[in-house]
């Protein structure tokens, strides 16, 4: 077995018929680079903790994301396993149901958030009831996700990518000419933030972005669609540091600049979108439309595919894919009518406590497979080949998530920030102690025997 990389694993045979080329998969994945959320959250953190502390936290975040997703992408590309399939190994066939539910709920939440921003932008430009614009946003997205990620997503994102970045650069130039404000956006500071108040600022920034570790689950599901022979390209350029430099770094800088430059702009859920429409009118609306179309095709596709997995495994609902598309659309629209976007930061904290534990367990398991030269479980293995619950994985995830959520709900600023760091460390520790390599090897040997029967 090669030891050139921490992600080198025995390669499993993959069916090639449905695999995406390197270029198509990269274009599909880069749709996520244009989330308006990344523009908003950067500006919001800069207002709360100061620009310099936010930029330091962003730099650390980009390094962490790039390193972890390099490992996860390599594993998914070589094995072909989705989150739902990999979770059968980590949690057992019934424990995996919880992973698909959390994945579906989180992706749907982001679909609601990003869709609400677009609906607000339409209303800001044209007026009318927000419920109508929400309905329009949901309806026009449905044809774009018909047939799954492989069918349209790479083409849609390839067409819209130049418009997105060109529009944002135009907004920056336009704002600098219309509202010359010097360098106040870069020098904004709130002063030292003590630990008891959630500081230091760079640590709080890292904690906020840990609430978006759901992107690591996104990575696994996207990478599972790729070809094993393209693993190096995808690790370096598709799922690695380049992507997060653009998604987190560039978007946050633009968001910070626009928020501090355009008079009246607010770092709120809809404030940045409103500022773009206020600044550029229909052109600003076009930028938001492109941004939200790119990101929401991925949110819808992954949310609905995992909702289908959950419905099939937990409820025994064997419905066609198109039926799940409409079920997901109805759920998204109804949630858009509720004030869910007002609870974004709380939702990020909860998601951080839930998702970071899964990621930590996955990394430990991948390390065990590498150490003992084990083949990943085949995607084609039936559910009956797995135990109902993997006690090590379920216990590590439940205990760590409970501790993390308790700290988030403690009411203290330091508890909310520290909780998302403790959760993955605790999950990894419990899984590593409870599920040593010898036990992992026995599990794989048993699965190999089941596959041959």
- Average pLDDT (177-197) is 77
Calpha distance 267→59 (Å, rounded): 21
- Residue 8, pLDDT above cutoff 50: no
Q: At what angle do helices 95-126 and 36-49 cross, to 10 degrees?
A: 90
- Average per-residue pLDDT for the chain: 84
* Sequence-distant (≥ 6) Cβ neighbours of residue 23 within 8 angstroms: 154
Band of residue 159 on the pLDDT scale cut at 50, 70, 90: confident
222 — pLDDT class (breaks 50, 70, 90): very high
Helices (H), 200-270: 201-210, 214-223, 231-233, 241-244, 251-261
Residue 19 has pLDDT above 60, yes or no: yes
Tell me: pLDDT of 343 over 60.
Answer: yes
pLDDT confidence bin for 143, thresholds 50/70/90: confident
Whole-angstrom distance, CA of residue 352 vs CA of residue 249:
20
pLDDT given at position 437:
57
Percent of the chain with pLDDT over 90: 43
Q: Can you give the length of the chain in residues? A: 453
Task: Please report which residue ranges of 262-373 form alpha helices under DSSP H.
Answer: 271-280, 282-315, 321-336, 344-371
Q: In the predicted model, is pLDDT for residue 64 greater than 90? A: yes
Give the start-to-end residue ranges of the domains of the chain: 22-342
Taking residue 146's Cβ as centre, other Cβ atoms within 10 Å add up to 12
Mean pLDDT of 384-408: 91
Task: For residue 10, name the pLDDT band (cuts at 50, 70, 90).
Answer: very low
What confidence score (pLDDT) does residue 448 get?
Answer: 61
What residues does 226 pair with on adjacent strands?
A: 20
* Homologous superfamily in CATH for domain 22-342: Hydantoin permease (1.10.4160.10)
Tell me the Ramachandran region of residue 148: left when phi exceeds 0, alpha when psi lies from -120 to 50, beta otherwise.
left
pTM of the model: 0.86
How much is the average pLDDT of 422-434? 93
Q: What 3-state class would DSSP assign to 20?
A: strand
Residue 441 has pLDDT above 80, yes or no: no
Each residue's pLDDT tens digit, 281-303: 899 899 999 888 888 888 998 99
């Amino acid at each position: 077995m090669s030891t050139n990389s921490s992600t080198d694993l025995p390669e499993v045979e993959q069916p090639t018929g449905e695999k995406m080329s390197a270029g198509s998969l990269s274009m599909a994945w880069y749709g996520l680079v244009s989330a308006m959320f990344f523009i908003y959250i950067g500006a919001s953190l800069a207002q709360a903790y100061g620009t310099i502390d936010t930029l330091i936290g962003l730099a650390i975040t980009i390094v962490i994301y790039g390193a972890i997703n390099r490992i996860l992408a390599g594993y998914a590309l070589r094995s072909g396993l989705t989150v739902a399939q990999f979770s059968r190994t980590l949690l057992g066939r019934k424990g995996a149901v919880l992973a698909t539910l959390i994945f579906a709920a989180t992706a749907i939440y982001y679909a609601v958030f990003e869709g609400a921003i677009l609906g607000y932008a339409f209303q800001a430009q044209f007026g009318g009831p927000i419920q109508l614009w929400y309905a329009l946003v949901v309806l026009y997205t449905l044809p774009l996700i018909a047939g799954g990620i492989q069918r349209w997503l790479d083409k849609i994102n390839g067409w819209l990518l130049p418009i997105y970045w060109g529009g944002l650069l135009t907004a920056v130039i336009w704002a600098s000419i219309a509202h010359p404000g010097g360098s106040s956006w870069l020098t904004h500071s709130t002063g030292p933030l003590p630990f008891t108040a959630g500081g230091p600022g760079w640590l709080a920034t890292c904690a906020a972005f840990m609430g978006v570790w759901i992107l690591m689950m996104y990575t696994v599901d996207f990478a599972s669609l790729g070809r094993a022979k393209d693993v190096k390209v995808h690790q370096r350029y598709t799922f690695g540091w380049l992507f997060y430099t653009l998604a987190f770094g560039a978007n946050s800088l633009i968001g910070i600049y626009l928020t501090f430059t355009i008079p009246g702009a607010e770092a709120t859920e809809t404030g940045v979108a409103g500022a773009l429409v206020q600044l550029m009118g229909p052109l600003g609306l076009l930028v938001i439309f492109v941004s939200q179309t790119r990101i929401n095709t991925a949110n819808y596709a992954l949310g609905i595919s995992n909702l289908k997995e959950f419905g099939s495994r937990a409820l025994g609902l064997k419905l066609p894919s198109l039926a799940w598309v409409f079920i997901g659309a109805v759920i998204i629209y109804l949630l858009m009518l509720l004030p869910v976007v007002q609870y974004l930061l709380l939702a990020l904290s909860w998601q951080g406590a839930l998702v970071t534990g899964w990621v930590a367990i996955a990394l430990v398991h991948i390390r065990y497979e590498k150490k003992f030269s084990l083949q990943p479980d085949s995607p084609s293995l039936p559910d009956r080949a797995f135990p109902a619950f993997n006690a090590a994985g379920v216990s590590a995830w439940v205990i760590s998530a409970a501790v993390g959520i308790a700290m988030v709900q403690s009411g203290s600023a330091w508890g909310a920030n520290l909780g998302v760091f403790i959760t993955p460390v605790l999950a990894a520790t419990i899984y590593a102690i409870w599920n040593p390599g010898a036990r992992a090897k026995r599990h794989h040997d048993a699965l190999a025997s089941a596959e041959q029967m």
